[in-house]
Amino acid sequence: MPSGLSLAVFLLWATSCIHAACQPCTRSALPSAGLRVNCSSLNLMELPHLPADTTELHVQDNRLSSVSPGTFDRLVGLKKASLSGNPFHCDCRIQYLRNWLLKNKGIVAKGPTCASPSSVAQKAISELTDDFFSSCVPEGCTDGTYNILLGVLLCCLIALLLWSLRLAKTSTFTLYIDERHSGLEANSLRSLKPKHRRRMHTGSLTFTMDLEKPPPNMELLPQVLDVLHKKHNIKIKAT
């Protein structure tokens, strides 16, 4: 049993080494400033995290089948790279590497080739045409469309809000007062306590009704109407 357990642990360690690179890439400073990163012949199936100040990169003779999008974008100072000797599988996942190679032809001395599928085997990845990737959905296309639609809706909402505010400022409100109320006086604008109140009890609720009100006064009403018209653009007309 102990020997079986040891074998299982060894197999687990060996499998993790294939993916995580048990032998780390070597790093060395260059005389002309910069950093040389050598990951060649390490049986890598994926690239490790690369320092941003890498100026020379060697990842040839590994087991790379593709390169994750954005892997080389951080290496703005990269001047030399070697990617040959990897069994790249040329499908939609290789599109990032192909586009990067086209933009950095002077960096890669020997361009990597496709190992599979058979239709493009031994063909340089940089020679793959746009038609080859015509059936591929651009990465992040769905998110981009959603963001565009969300932006359009937000702009429409803001425009509608601004239009509503402008309309509110330019609108005129007209209140019509019946002739029978033309005798209102200024006292009606003040809060006065009624002389008599009748309380109506219905269950636990109490209602108060005003039976008598003092005669109103109209002395302050014109001033109030003038303020409503000038400050709030509200007109009051008698009917």
Virtual torsion, Cα 81, 84, 90, 94, nearest 10 deg: -10
Largest CA distance in the chain: 110
The pLDDT value recorded for residue 10 is 42
Pick the more confident residue, 17 or 100.
100
**Count of other CB atoms within 10 angstroms of residue 193:** 7
- Going 110 to 116 to 118 to 119, the CA torsion angle's sign is negative
The pLDDT value recorded for residue 22 is 56
Pick the more confident residue, 198 or 29.
29
The pLDDT value recorded for residue 226 is 79
For the chain, what is the mean pLDDT?
76
**What is the Cα–Cα distance from 150 to 54, expressed in whole angstroms?**
39
pTM above 0.75, yes or no: no
pLDDT higher than threshold 70 for residue 11: no
The pLDDT value recorded for residue 205 is 46
List CB contacts of 20: < 8 A, sequence separation 6 or more.
48
- Band the pLDDT of 33: cuts 50, 70, 90: confident
Pick the more confident residue, 49 or 175.
49
The pLDDT value recorded for residue 213 is 55
Q: What average pLDDT does range 220-228 have in this prediction?
A: 75
Instruction: Kindly report the three-state secondary structure assignment for every residue of the chain.
Output: CHHHHHHHHHHHHHHHHHHHCCCCCEEEECCCCCEEEECCCCCCCCCCCCCCCEEEEECCCCCCCCCCCCCCCCCCCCCEEECCCCCEECCHHHHHHHHHHHHCCCCECCCCEEEECHHHCCCEHHHCCHHHHCCCCCCCHHHHHHHHHHHHHHHHHHHHHHHHHHHHHHCCEEEEECHHHCCCCHHHHCCCCCCCEEEEEECCEEEEEECCCCCCCCCCHHHHHHHHHHHHCEEEEEC
The pLDDT value recorded for residue 7 is 42
Q: C-alpha angle with apex 159: 228 to 168, nearest 5 degrees?
A: 10
pLDDT higher than threshold 80 for residue 27: yes
Write out pLDDT tens, residues 92-147: 999 999 999 999 989 998 899 999 999 999 999 999 999 999 998 765 554 556 67
pLDDT higher than threshold 60 for residue 19: no
**Where exactly are the structural domains of the chain?**
15-133, 140-168, 172-238
The pLDDT value recorded for residue 14 is 45
- Could you please state the CATH topology (level 3) that the domain comprising 15-133 is classified under: 3.80.10
The pLDDT value recorded for residue 88 is 97
Q: How far is CA 25 from CA 14, 21, 41, 167, in A?
A: 17, 8, 10, 67
Write out pLDDT tens, residues 171-216: 665 655 555 555 555 455 454 455 544 454 444 444 454 545 555 5
Pick the more confident residue, 200 or 54.
54
